[in-house]
Amino acid sequence: MAAVSNFGDEIKADRKYSEFSAWHYVNFPADKDYKDVEPSEYGDLVIGINKCIEIITSEVSSKEDKAFYLKFLVHLIGDLHQPMHIGRLEDKGGNDIQLQWFGRGSNLHRVWDSNMIDDYGMSFTELSNSLPKISKQEVKQIQKGDIYVWIEETQEITNEVYDSVEVGEKLGYQYSYRWWNTVENQLLKGGIRLAAMLNDIFK
Ligand code: ADE
Ligand code: ZN
């Protein structure tokens, strides 16, 4: 599963798949719920996740389609937990908030998508092995709700993340130290909720 988890990003390099590019995120105002706003005509994370589930569970979809959308679903449940993927439209989920990351140009989206995780210096296997160990009750608690509830929860973090920086700020160890717990927790919740979703789909 780890080997396919980045599939959704890999296909971005191929224009053949451009129709899926808006599925990775959903942008809406900080004080609104997803269900209060008109969905984007290009699709969004919710539309993408629901489409994946529809195709995977349909009796008429091909084996190839089921494999494609299953790989995509694994990716999208991860994206749902990255705060900058539940972002603000006006700055493209932090992409337009330019910052310095260890002395190099970056932006708030990239700090959360890759800089913090890459510079933590663990392989993905090491990282997943080092995530906090939690009880069965905690797993159950985390799995409660649905994608709309999970998006609301991520959005609360998004709002704090937007408040955590000034445009042009020089970020480094201190920022990572402040937020690493959140990064780990979001990775953990993403995995545990993906498991719940797959259990439900293949029950
Ligand atoms: N483009 C526009 N909004 C975006 C977001 N939240 N994440 C990634 N790319 C985007
Ligand atoms: Zn993505």
Tens digits of per-residue pLDDT, 19-37? Answer: 999 999 999 998 899 999 9
Rounded to whole angstroms, the Cα distance separating 105 from 102 reads 8
My answer on whether 102 and 67 are in the same domain is no
Which pLDDT score is estimated for 22?
A: 97
Q: How far is CA 107 from CA 17, 59, 60, 64, in A?
A: 25, 43, 43, 36
> Which of 85, 103, 123 represents a domain boundary (last residue)?
85
What's the pLDDT score for residue 2?
86
Cα 195 to chain centroid, rounded: 15
CATH of the domain at 186: 1.10.575.10
Q: Are residues 191 and 156 in the same domain?
A: yes
Q: Are residues 140 and 74 in the same domain?
A: no
Q: What's the N-to-C CA distance of the chain in angstroms?
A: 18
What domain range is 9 assigned to?
Answer: 2-85
Taking 70 as the pLDDT cut, the residues of the chain under it are none
Q: How many CB atoms lie within 10 A of CB 78?
A: 21
Measured from the alpha carbon of residue 28, the closest ligand is: 1
CB 40 near ligand 1, within 6 Å: no
Q: Which of 85, 110, 139 is the last residue of a domain?
A: 85
The reported pLDDT for the residue numbered 113 is 96
How far does residue 30's CA lie from ligand 2's centre (Å)? 21
Q: What distance in angstroms lies between residue 191's CA and the mean position of ligand 1's atoms?
A: 22
In angstroms, the Cα distances linking 203 to 143, 195, 197, 199, 200 are 16, 12, 10, 6, 5
Query: Which atom of ligand 1 sits closest to the CA of residue 93?
Result: 6
Q: Residue 50: what pLDDT?
A: 98
* 18 and 73 inside one domain: yes
Q: Are residues 19 and 112 in the same domain?
A: no
Residues 182 and 109 in one domain: yes
Strand ranges for 64-174 from DSSP E: 98-101, 104-107, 170-171
Task: Supply the pLDDT for residue 124.
Answer: 86
Distance set, CA 186 to CA 38, 78, 83, 90 (Å)? 27, 8, 9, 24
The neighbouring-strand residues paired with 105 are: 100
Say yes or no: 57 and 106 in one domain: no
The total number of structural domains that make up the chain: 2
56 and 34 both lie in a single domain: yes
- On whether both 184 and 111 belong to a single domain, the answer is yes
Residues 163 and 183 in one domain: yes
Ligand 1 contact via 154 beta carbon (within 6 Å): no
Q: Which of 23, 57, 85 is the last residue of a domain?
A: 85
The response to whether residue 27 sits with its C-beta less than 6 Å from ligand 1 reads yes
Both 114 and 56 in one domain: the answer is no
Name which residue sits closest to atom 10 of ligand 1, judged by CA.
Answer: 92
Count each helix (H run) and each strand (E run) in the chain, helices first: 9, 3
Hey, what are 143's tokens? 């799995």
Structure tokens at 177: 């130290």
Same domain, 129 and 194: yes
